[in-house]
Amino acid sequence: MKQQEIGIVIEVNGNVAKVKAARHGDCDNCGACPGDSAIVMDVRNAVSAKPGQKVAFEMHSASMVLAAFVVYAIPLFAAAAGAVIGWLIANQLGQSLVGFQVGGGIIGFGLSLVVIKLYDRAIKNNVKTLPVITKILN
């Protein structure tokens, strides 16, 4: 399933354009993007749009679900795994469980942030995962 959005091209660099689009209702719940009412995103420029033109672009729902999973679920699983590993280490050493569990959870969460940053870089460098401009509007 694809989600269609409308925005204005503010910059073109090769076959990638920066598009300023109005935030939708889902963005109100997240708040991760800067600004109150607009977001600037990289979009594949399949129709050779020029700066200042109003365009329609499509985002794949599967890409958005995967990104949400990476941002929300991976840190949760990593923190839980770190706490379990901390518990196992504390049992082996005969130490207090809580300190090792908390420390393991923090380390797991920190490592998940590194994974998210690497995923973000990989996605930004892969033009195929970007939303695509489908048409230029009047």
Q: What does 65-130 look like in DSSP terms, one character per residue?
A: HHHHIIIIIHHHHHHHHHHHHHHHHHHHHT--HHHHHHHHHHHHHHHHHHHHHHHHHHHHH-GGGS
Quote the pLDDT of residue 72. 93
| Residue 47 pLDDT > 60 | yes
CA dihedral 95, 101, 103, 105 (to 10 degrees): 160
| Residue 68 pLDDT > 60 | yes
pLDDT digits (tens, 9 = 90+) for 8-40: 999 898 888 899 987 655 555 555 555 556 788
What is the location of CATH 2.40.50.140 in the chain?
2-60+130-137
Quote the pLDDT of residue 121. 86
| Residue 124 pLDDT > 70 | yes
CA gyration radius, the chain: 20
| Distance separating alpha carbons of residues 80 and 82, to the nearest angstrom | 5
pLDDT digits (tens, 9 = 90+) for 78-118: 999 999 999 999 999 988 899 999 999 999 999 999 999 99
| Distance separating alpha carbons of residues 43 and 132, to the nearest angstrom | 6
Quote the pLDDT of residue 24. 58
Quote the pLDDT of residue 126. 76
Quote the pLDDT of residue 32. 53
The answer regarding whether domain 2-60+130-137 maps to CATH 2.40.50.140 reads yes
Quote the pLDDT of residue 118. 92
| Distance separating alpha carbons of residues 92 and 99, to the nearest angstrom | 14
